[in-house]
Chains A and B, each alone.
Chain A
């Protein structure tokens, strides 16, 4: 979510540190800051709040509360109270997954464009301004994290009903999409029609427009799992559904209702004429207990009662300490704190993980050999020694016996064998053999294949005689005499030792052209001199070193043949261009009387 530095500051009495310092504090003690953008008079942070804290930190108020705790600043937690109304809004709560439903009717509102300060505030964090009433609800969402909704009261016939949809019932959402509902989905309705998908999205039926003069505000709380299921099955993830599915605390309705009504009075005028709050099972305060030893044993850091008390006080948490036990009244907004292990995280991150020392394991583990893995290693090393190169292809294919639901079209099934993809790979590599400096391509893949019977680890080997494929177990068994005597440890050591430090050289997407040259020389020294010429030429004009592909001796003379590969990273080379370069080599060699081009 995007957070404004100024907006966070508005919830904290003491001055915040600079945006740069604040960013560091957030990163090392709470959340990942994905982006920080400075604007004319503000700084916008994009902070990644993960599911454990999405219930309390997806708002400026919640983020400010966390920051105030981290930095020991005074949090400006205004207790908004809602004035009693003279009459009730008629509501009928039939769905048990509606945890709390608060409704407020305001008559005489004037719906119009929002003032500049509000438009600016919303736009700074990526929210478009719509009108005073809708902007007020969006402001409350971003400010307090509580989703709210406004209905045009004139368009609501009879009571507001919270019920389950009937199968096939439809709604046109505020974004103009028609959605067909099922019986498990909670809706907000009146006596005639569906007004909104509860906790997910409003509908057009009771939309607030510029002509609206009377509104009913909904400030509610719904069951997290119910909202999640509805949101997922409709493919409709909204700012509201994201908050409800993360266990938003129902106690927070109170402050949101008061602040929203107050804001609408300022922005759109009107009078509160009725209000109702259905909250049959108020949220209970939970308590957890832990000891200093619980925290120390998990973190292994030096932590004292003093530092624990300091952290608890900074956050303003209520707790008691009797003998060794701390009993913490878990704040209503922290649904994620369930036991001592969660408190270990709280103390660890607030005090700082950098204070924890690195230590070796307190026991000496004994190695248990994984037979399957060792077989695979032995086969890989053996094939490598036989001149085969390893490749990896996708586990997905177009067709197979086991299919993927909702996968990409060309990769919608799991491979039943390695051979098909290895054949494609072999064809590609065979064409590229000169680029690879290979006379003959030999390759293999080891990987899992999937059939109706289950998954099996296979090995497939390709060379000019074709492709053979077997299970790893079968292949190992067939080559057991060789494989079992292979010095895997020694090969592994040399493999790891030979990993070069040179970086990846990307390859050209353009075609290559090869040229061969065969030269007669008389002595080994002349052959060596020729090699130097050839290497220098290849280094300057070719994409890879020259390959010596043939050599023989006849009548006391030595014939040496090299292959050169020409390729550009920028374009397709023409025969003429290659010929021109190649002539450089021809004339260099021709200048040596002891070398004769065949």
Chain B
């Protein structure tokens, strides 16, 4: 008999690859609940109630449990970690997130995100660029480049979209894979830090999206069907 070893889900493979790269840079892993309260998911992240920014993420609310949601991003893990730790630190927070949107080949109601957060003295956009560039170079290859475009996420200022230049099969493509920015002073204040003493950067990337780029999937929905034909690596 041929010996059959089990296979891991492609998202686990991608997460392991990410973990290995960030561990080398000294990033620790932080985790948090998937069913989250609105304070951690929104308010503490500078998204007040009745603010249009809440519409940027379609939210699943919990029936009969006002004030609770399925987390729409991994950013609440930032808040939980900061409240219990003292800078300087560097963390990544991988996890499942949920959006109440109609599904198609590129949208799912659940997907995985990877949050990154670095807080310390004199942290600037230079360090954000440095951390992301070295990550993407290891992930996609040495010839990878990144560029920042202005964007808006309430919990950072300035906020960026990070495009990654990937060379695959001789073809060059700019992919939009990551949002990032300098942690907003209101967020630092919400967790009891003094924005005059410390600063930080944060980023968030779609793990499913990275898997799609890495493995060239045609349909994101295949990831959660329980079909082992997915485990091709």
**Which residues of A pack against B, CB within 8 Å?**
27-32, 50-54, 225, 228-229, 242, 245-246, 297-301, 339, 341-342, 344-345, 348-349, 353-354, 356-370, 372-373, 377, 380, 383-396, 402-408, 411, 414, 421-422, 424-425, 428-429, 432, 435-439, 441-443, 445, 447-448, 450, 455, 492-493, 495-496, 498-500, 502-507, 547-549, 551
Contact = CB atoms under 8 A, between A and B. Distances in A.
B29 A429 contact: no
B56 A495 contact: no
Given A298-B124, A369-B28, A414-B35, A405 B228 contact: no
A341 B123 CA distance: 13
A503 B216 CA distance: 6
Interface of B: 1-2, 4-9, 11-13, 16-17, 19-20, 23, 25-31, 33-35, 50-53, 55-56, 60-65, 70, 85, 88-90, 96, 98, 100, 109-110, 118, 120-127, 129-131, 133-134, 147-152, 154, 157-161, 182, 184-185, 199, 214-219, 223-233
Given A421-B226, A448-B96, A361 B118 contact: yes
B126 A393 contact: no
A406 B100 contact: yes
Contacts of A387: 4-6
A349 B160 CA distance: 10
Contact of B199 (A298, A364, A437): A298
A359 B127 contact: yes
Contacts of B217: 504
Contacts of B157: 341-342, 344-345
B228 A389 contact: yes
Contacts of A396: 109-110
A342 B9 CA distance: 42
A90 B133 CA distance: 63
Nearest to B146: A358
B126 A359 contact: yes
A361 B228 CA distance: 40
B70 to A, nearest CB: 7
Consensus secondary structure, chain B interface: mixed
17 contacts: A28-B150, A52-B152, A298-B124, A299-B124, A360-B130, A368-B28, A385-B5, A387-B4, A390-B231, A392-B226, A393-B224, A407-B100, A438-B4, A493-B20, A496-B17, A499-B13, A507-B229
A389 B31 contact: no
Contacts of A505: 232
Given A300-B126, A345-B158, A391-B9, A228 B185 contact: no
Contact of B17 (A342, A404, A499): A499
A404 B61 contact: yes
A30 B13 contact: no
Contacts of B158: 298-299, 341, 344-345, 348-349
Contacts of A437: 4
A245 B52 contact: yes
A246 to B, nearest CB: 6
B148 A353 contact: yes
A301 B62 CA distance: 44
Given A367-B28, A455-B35, A32 B151 contact: yes
A395 B52 contact: no
B5 A384 contact: yes
B129 A28 contact: no
Contacts of B17: 496, 499
Contacts of A242: 52
A51 B19 CA distance: 33
A54 B31 CA distance: 34
A372 B9 contact: no
B7 A390 contact: yes
Contacts of B215: 503-504
B113 to A, nearest CB: 14
A448 B32 CA distance: 11
A406 B99 CA distance: 12
A436 B232 CA distance: 10
B126 A357 contact: yes
Contacts of A445: 226
A231 B157 CA distance: 28
Given A353-B125, A387-B5, A392 B30 contact: no
B126 A403 contact: no
B185 A341 contact: yes
Contact of A390 (B6, B110, B122, B225): B6
Nearest to A387: B6
A598 B126 CA distance: 71
Contact of B20 (A388, A392, A492): A492
Contacts of A362: 120-123, 127
A443 B149 contact: no
A339 B185 contact: yes
B125 A367 contact: no
A441 B228 contact: yes
A498 B7 CA distance: 11
A443 B219 CA distance: 22
A506 B218 contact: yes
Q: Which of A341, A349, A380, A388 has the most CB of B within 10 A?
A: A341
Given A362-B122, A390-B8, A493-B20, A345 B150 contact: yes
Contacts of B16: 377, 492, 495-496
Contacts of A341: 157-158, 182, 184-185
Given A299-B124, A362-B127, A404-B62, A389 B227 contact: no
B62 A402 contact: yes
